[in-house]
Chain A
Amino acid sequence: MKKRCGVFILFLLIPAVTLGGTLLFPARQYAWISLCVALLSCLPFFLTFERGEGAPARLILLSSLTALSVLGRIVFTPLPGFKPVTATVVLVALTFGGEAGFLTGSLSALISNFWFGQGPWTPFQMFSWGMVGWLAGRLSFPLKKSRILLSLYGAFAGVLYSAVMDVWTVLWADGAFNLSRYGAALLSALSFTALYAVSNVIFLLALGKPVGGILERVKVKCGL
């Protein structure tokens, strides 16, 4: 049942929204259609989580880790662009799997935006951070083995985040996707993209050993 629901959303609802949206709305409200798609793509993960098994210890640990990554975003506010959120999400995913990674990432975006401001960009942030976590969980075997691969993944996650958010910027300001404007947005955000990538690598290298160790220890200690 839970599998079928996720498949239904991914393969029926999202194409239906995309198609219906483009056909129904003459003014081409791409921004809103993509917003709905971003929201819908988060749903299968939440549904699987809701239906899954799990001791309260796992739930509380997940909320604690989510609060922790939000804390990272708040504590590092004076240093713009330098945020340990992605690194925390990736490390959580390496230890507790992709589902936990997605949840920590997307809920961190949702909760931290209670501080930094909710808006139509929230679902996009939820999706991109969630995806960064989920992918890390999928790739956990090679990523755990090699620090070089882990750094590469951190840089990739920074670029991915920036690229996804720029799609949103263009759609939001234009109402339609304009390739030259997307290029302009990417170019003007280049310094930020580089900062994201570099800071992710730094945080992953600095936090990988200590935080990864702490999480592994908790996992063994509580038998999760």
Chain B
Amino acid sequence: MRGNAGRENAFSRLHPAVLMTFFLSELLLTVFLPHPVLQAEALVGGLLFCLLLWGGEFLRELGFYLPLFVLVALTNPLFSHNGVTPLFFLNGNPVTWEALLYGIFLAVSVTGVLFWCKAYSRVMTSDKFLYLFGKVAPRLSLVLSVALRFLPAYLAQSKRVERAQKGVGLYAGESFTDRIKNRLRVFVAMVSWSTENAMEVSASMKGRGYGKKGRTNFSLFKFTSADGVFLALILSLTALTLCGAAAGMKNFAFYPRVSRVELSPVSFAACLSFGLQSLLPALWEGKERILWKYYVSKI
């Protein structure tokens, strides 16, 4: 199981509500606490977790994130000339140390959020999302889940339509307009097929009593003690970070002068708890892998 490419990971086996709480807390704190230490922690945590999720594949993707990082970091000093420490002049405009640092800060925060979004889409699959929101918004989640089921069916059917059209001699040439025309022909055929199909589905649903009272739902998610421990951890760490940020952390400013990172116990506690929270998924994943290796070694 573990060696497969499409393997599940330990973290995504947690209860959807716990996962949602974690991602919401992590993303919101990253986004709304503009402090360089916290941003760096989020970036490192996200990077480590993505590495554990994807392995070597993710290393190759860093070839995309690294240029993005540099681009965001360097464009800020080129466009913003605030700050009191000029490094050099470009076309008569000062390029300042503060603007450069702020650019790097922005880049850290942007890439950190992107890493967590990437991990989110791998861990929070659409079935978990629908399980969470099915009770809050039943009509909307019905539309969403049915659309998500239709999509692969339509992709397969559109391939069939294309083959059939080729079979009756409707080839697509190499030219741009030809390719568009061919795809449009398939698309229009798909429109009529899919609306008919939708009507059949809805008739079948009506026949089976959709919308009648007393129907129950079934799902395979169980809230275990591990979920409880994890949820308690997330909530207490988030609370600690928030308290620390509210009580002690001064607003970190880049302009006109870069503030110093203060070393008061309160802000230290906030940084520590957020750092721990950001590392939680990677730690959890790592712990499970080591345990697995250990059990395998004993066989």
Q: A interface vs B, CB < 8 Å? A: 25-27, 29, 32, 46, 49-50, 52, 54-57, 59-68, 70-72, 74-76, 78-79, 82, 84, 103, 107, 110-111, 114, 117-120, 172-175, 178, 180-181, 202-203, 206-207, 210-211, 214-215, 218, 221-222
Contact = CB atoms under 8 A, between A and B. Distances in A.
A60 B144 CA distance: 10
A173 B79 CA distance: 11
A202 to B, nearest CB: 8
Contact of A79 (B80, B140, B179, B253): B179
Interface string B46-75: 000000000000000000000000001001
Chain A to chain B: the 8 pairs with minimum beta-carbon distance, closest first: A64-B198, A67-B150, A27-B34, A63-B147, A63-B146, A60-B202, A57-B202, A26-B251
Contacts of B158: 71, 75
Interface in B103-134: 106, 110, 113-114, 117, 120-121, 126
30 contacts: A27-B251, A27-B254, A60-B199, A61-B198, A61-B202, A63-B146, A64-B146, A64-B150, A64-B195, A64-B201, A65-B194, A65-B195, A67-B194, A68-B154, A71-B151, A74-B155, A76-B183, A78-B179, A79-B179, A84-B187, A107-B144, A111-B144, A120-B113, A173-B75, A173-B106, A173-B110, A174-B80, A178-B79, A203-B184, A214-B192
B292 interface: no
A25 B28 CA distance: 13
Nearest to A114: B126
B186 interface: yes
B72 A173 contact: yes
B194 A64 contact: yes
B114 A207 contact: no
B287 interface: no
Contacts of B110: 172-173
Given A50-B140, A118-B120, A173-B75, A63 B251 contact: no
> Which residue among B79, B191, B251 has the maximum number of chain A CB atoms within 10 Å of its CB?
B191
A221 B198 CA distance: 13
A70 B139 CA distance: 20
B139 A60 contact: no
A57 B121 contact: no
B198 A75 contact: no
Given A71-B190, A214-B195, A180 B202 contact: no
B197 interface: yes
In this complex, the interface size class of chain B, counting residues with CB under 8 Å from chain A, is 35 or more
Given A25-B32, A60-B198, A107-B143, A72 B187 contact: yes
A67 B158 CA distance: 12
A44 B231 CA distance: 31
B142 interface: yes
Contacts of B211: 56
Interface string B155-197: 1001000000000000000001001100110111011101101
A157 B50 CA distance: 37
A209 B148 CA distance: 27
Looking at chain B's contact residues, the main secondary structure is: helix
Contacts of A67: 146-148, 150-151, 154, 194
Nearest to B211: A56
A119 B202 contact: no
B205 interface: yes
A70 B147 contact: yes
A89 to B, nearest CB: 13
B198 A63 contact: yes
Contacts of A214: 188, 191-192, 195
B9 interface: no
Given A119-B114, A218-B199, A27 B252 contact: yes
B169 to A, nearest CB: 20
Contacts of A114: 121, 126, 148
Given A25-B34, A49-B140, A210-B191, A61 B199 contact: yes
A74 B187 CA distance: 11
Contacts of B120: 118
Contacts of A66: 143, 147
A181 B147 contact: no
A174 B109 CA distance: 11
Contacts of A72: 187
A52 B140 CA distance: 11
A46 B136 CA distance: 12
A178 to B, nearest CB: 6
A97 to B, nearest CB: 15
Nearest to A170: B79
A111 B202 contact: no
A62 B42 CA distance: 39
A207 B147 contact: no
